[in-house]
Structure formats: C-alpha cells, structure tokens
Amino acid sequence: MTRVLVVGAGGVFGSRLCEGLLRNGFEVVVAGRDPARAEGAAARLRAAFPDGWVEAAVMDTATLTAGDLAATGAAIVADAAGPFQGAEPGTARAAISAGMSYVDLADGRDFVAAFPALDAAAEAAGVVALTGCSSTPALSNAVLDRLTEGWREVVSVEAAISPGARAPRGLSVMRAILSWLGRPVRVFEGGIWTTRAGWSGLHRRDFGAAGRRRVSLCETPDLDLLAERFRPGERAWFLAGLEPWPAHIGAWALGLLVRGFRFDPVPLAKALVAMSGWMSVFGSDRGAMRVEAYGVDGQGRAARTVWRLVAEPGEGPATPGLPALAAIKAIAAGRVAPGARACVGVLSLEDIVAEMAPYGLATETVDQRGAIYARAIGPAFDALPAPIRALHEAPGRSLWRGEAATEGASGPLAALAARIVGFPKAQAACAAEVAIEADGERSVWRRRIGGHGFASVLSHPRPGGRMSERFGPLRMDLTLTPEGGRLVYRVEGWRLGPIPLPRALAPATRAHEEVDEEGRFVFDVEISAPLIGRLVRYRGWLMRVA
C-alpha cells in the first residue's frame, strides 16, 4: 500500500488527514519538528488504528532536504503544517527533487498563485504536486464546477465558511488571518478589480441548518481562482465568519483599528487564540460552508444555486483535509497527470463528498430557476410580452433609458411627502433612466426621471404573484397580476420596518407595464396617499442600453 508522509500530523487538520489515510489503508509517516510530539501523535494513531502502519519521523520544514523525504520510503508528501501566507514552497521543491508526489492544504493566496512555477520540474520528474487541497480552493471550486455546469453566463460566484465556536483555532491559523486583517485585499467586484479591507463588510448569509451568520471578506486563493475560472460578470467573493457573533464583530472592529492606525496585529495572535477559547461557550459548535452561483442556465433562465455543508459539533475540522485525502487517492490510482498546479478542476465534487461518509457532515443544494418576478408569478409570467419579461429577467446589472412624462403632487402636503421620497415634479417630457441590479434574491431599481432620483428594492417573491418593495424603511406588500398582456401592480399592505401599518392608510398605487406599438417596454405608475392625494404619476417607455 502507498506510504504517505504527513507534515504537521500533530495539528488540527493534519491529525484528521492521518486518520482518513489509515482508514483507507495507507501507510502513514508522522513528521514533526518536536520528537516527543511526533511520537505522541503516532502513538495516538496506532491506538486508534491497531491494524494500521504508523511511524514517526523528526523533520523541520525549514531545513528538510530531498534526501530526508526519500529516506522515509513515502511516495507522497502531504503538508498540513502552515501557515502558508508569505511562505516558500520548500517542502514541495524537496518532494519533487526526491521524485515524490506532493499535496498541501495551503490557503495562502500568494503561495498558491506562485505554485505553478514548479510545474516544469514536476513534469520532468513525473510527479504530481497539488496545492490548495482544502476547503478553499479545492472544495469551493469543485462545488462551483457542478453548480454552473452547462450555464451560458455566470454573473457572480461566492464561497463562505463559518467554523463552529469550539473548532480548534491553532496559532498558525490565527496568524494567517491576522496577516491580512484590515489590510488592502484585491477583489473582483462590480465587474472590475478593486481593493477592499480584509475582514470588511458585515454580511449575513443563510447556512441552512446552522442558521444565518455574519461573514466578512477573507483573503484566500479563491479571490483569484474564482474570477479566473468562472469569469463572472459582477463579482467573485470569498467570505468567512467567526462564532460566536461577538467574536466576529471583534475581528471586524480590530480590522478598523488596523486600517486607522496602521499597526501589525500578528503579535496579538496568542492572546486572540486564548480569547476565542474563552468565548467559545457562547456560540454554536456547528461548522458550516456555503457556495453560491448566480447567472443564466443552459435554457436561458436566470439561475441561483446554493450548496451548503453543515458539520455536527466536533466534526468541522475534518472538512479541510477531505480534498487532500481525495487527491492522495487519485494520485495513488494514477488518475492525475504529472505537473504542479492548484487543486482546481482536478477533483469532482463527488470525489470529495465520498470522503465525508465517516463524519457528521450533511450537504444540500437549493436550486432556484427564474428571476424573482418569474418565481412569484409562476407559469403566467411566460405568457407576458417579451419586452416585459426581458426587463425583469435580466441577470446582474442592466441599464434602461427612454422618455417619460410626469404629473406632480396634487397638494402641498403631497408635495412635501413626494420631495422626501425624491419623486419628480411635473414635466411634459423628460429623460428616464432605470438601473437594475438583480442577484437572484432581490432586484434593486435606481430610477432617475427628469433629474430626480429615487430607489427601491424588490424582494421576497412568494407564490400568487406576491412580492415586497422597500423604499427606505417603508415596505410595500405587492401582488403582481398578468392581465391581457399587461403586468398590473397592486398594494396589499405596508410596513414600517417589521411593524405592520393600518391598511386603510396605505399608499394607493395604480401601476401597470405593457408594450407599445413600437415594441417598447411601457410603464404607467400613479402613487397616492390617503387624505393628501396624489404624490406622483410617471408614464413613459424604456429600452435596454447596457
């Protein structure tokens, strides 16, 4: 059976990888700098797998040579030591020189980006060298390969991880996080490359059975690889979170301090590891991961697909090593071509999921087809005229321009209310522009009519044509009904934040969309309020320009 040398076998992820290797019949050499720790790790593995073959070896990655590796008799080297940020691939070079294949669990963006420089040497030696055989980028890319298979267009991709509160956080992991926290991170966003601060943004994401959690921008190889491999039109994000939520907020606040005072937080690593241990009793011990893609499927429909993984308490640390285990099995079986590269496009999602069986890991995929209007209205949406469908189905960003005529408020109180919202004044003819940004969950409309701008957010599509439209703190509950080639909007209720307001006082809206004789999208909207009368009426046409 194939022998594997595991560097960092005494660590959180390395120990789980060793267990997986022994469970699959591999021989394991436990390597570490500290003889007592290496032998201790080997002893624990022998006790857990009495029929397995386990040996210990003292080895320092800072000084190891090809001869040191070859002397172990291993065919494959697995590096789970870290941290990889700012590191040189010395172990990989030594393995290639020794004629041994190599895998690692690297999540350092610079490390993974530089790794293909070893490709020529690996090919010449006839060995395989794979970096990033972990949750990022191997698992995240394998998921997206499956989710976007056959799609015509990818608008956005995103991966996010949220370890359980009691997941072990070693010193190397903490130092890796602090190396980029609060510092400029290059990210593809808004269709361009830009910079954002590490751990910036307080986003909330639904992790299924693990609940909704806060996540922030995280620097990993996926920020490069997702943009490169999937060519999204809008963005490629990798986010991460900490449990419990005060720990996440604390990291976010520390990032603000780093940005403001420009100091190095890495020396705080030991203290922060201790603090995370103290706070762990207050959070969920379920680890979670989610991967999301939004775009246009092979049938031309808007598609939003989310894959989620939830780990039961104590099982989360097994996840990062599973792609490495799957890669080692593939290399041992001769299914991977020689060369050095990131572990993307190498393993299928099924290869990795197959290694989850011994653990308390559950996955699910939520697949939404059709834009939010189509999901709310149902089959009747397909019977609407093409120009109406085109405006509401456009994925990502779209820009529509045309002309409009407006009627202003009917009285002084109505005029005051209209001015607060930003509704236009009366004009016989004026330019109209609507910028729409759709992401599969919501659609943001930024209107500019006659020089006046106002915006709303449409979201929460529900059967029966029901949807919500939010203007600032006010939310309107709408019903959308196709009637004779028109799409008619009716207000069924309204809220101030989460608080329902009296329906009798709700703004009255008479609104519909249709197509004129020139085939253009036409809108006619009148909004009135009880007691004070009409706030605005605007009518016109639009055509897509971008």
Instruction: Tell me the per-residue pLDDT of 211-258, one tens digit each, with 9 for 90 and over.
Output: 999 999 999 999 999 999 999 999 999 999 988 888 888 889 999 999
The answer to whether the beta carbons of residues 303 and 148 sit under 8 Å apart is no
Model pLDDT, residue 172: 74
273 pLDDT above the threshold of 90? no
Q: Greater confidence, 508 or 340? A: 340
Q: How confident is the model at residue 290, as a pLDDT?
A: 99
* CATH number 3.40.1260.10 is the correct assignment for the domain at 3-135+318-356: no
Task: Report the pLDDT value the prediction gives residue 170, as an integer from 0 to 100.
Answer: 67
Could you tell me the CA-to-CA distances from 26 to 2, 332, 408, 477 in Å, in that order? Answer: 6, 10, 77, 60
pTM score of the predicted model? 0.90
Contact of 448 with 465, CB cutoff 8 Å: no
CA distance 7 to 81: 6
The pLDDT of 284-299, averaged and rounded, is 95
Residue 280, pLDDT above cutoff 80: no
The domain defined by 146-311+361-368 carries CATH number 3.30.360: yes
Kindly tell me if the per-residue pLDDT of 536 is higher than 80.
yes
Instruction: For the chain, give the percent of residues with pLDDT over 90.
Output: 79
Q: Can you list the positions of beta strands (E) in 170-265?
A: 184-189, 192-197, 203-206, 212-217, 235-240
pLDDT in tens, 417-436: 888 877 888 888 999 999 99
pLDDT for the residue numbered 195: 98
What is the per-residue pLDDT across 452-489, written as a single tens digit (0 to 9) for each?
888 999 999 999 999 999 988 989 999 999 999 999 99
Mean local confidence (pLDDT), 275-286? 76
pLDDT band at 268 (very low <50, low <70, confident <90, very high): confident
Q: What is the mean pLDDT of residues 35-41?
A: 93
Q: Inform me whether the pLDDT recorded for 120 exceeds 70.
A: yes
Residue pLDDT, tens place only, 477-535: 999 999 999 999 999 999 998 899 998 888 888 999 999 999 999 999 999 988 899 99
Q: Which residue has the tokens 């103290």?
A: 278
Average pLDDT over residues 401-416: 92
Residue 321 corresponds to which amino acid? G
Give whole-number Cα distances, 454 to 75, 86, 397, 544, in Å. Answer: 64, 47, 17, 19
- pLDDT for residue 154: 98
Mean pLDDT of the residues in the chain: 94
Distance CA 396, CA 232 (A): 10
Element of type H or E holding 224: helix 222-230
d(CA 316, CA 13): 10
- Which residue is associated with the tokens 């196709």? 482
372-544 belongs to CATH 1.10.8.60: no
Nearest to 226 by CA among 350, 140, 153, 321: 140
Mean pLDDT confidence for 56-74: 94
Q: Which helix (H) or strand (E) holds 367?
A: strand 361-369
Residue 167 has pLDDT above 80, yes or no: no
- The predicted pLDDT at position 173 comes to 76
Residue 365 β-bridge partners: 307
Is the Cβ–Cβ distance between 526 and 537 less than 8 Å?
yes
The residues spanned by each domain of the chain are 3-135+318-356, 146-311+361-368, 372-544
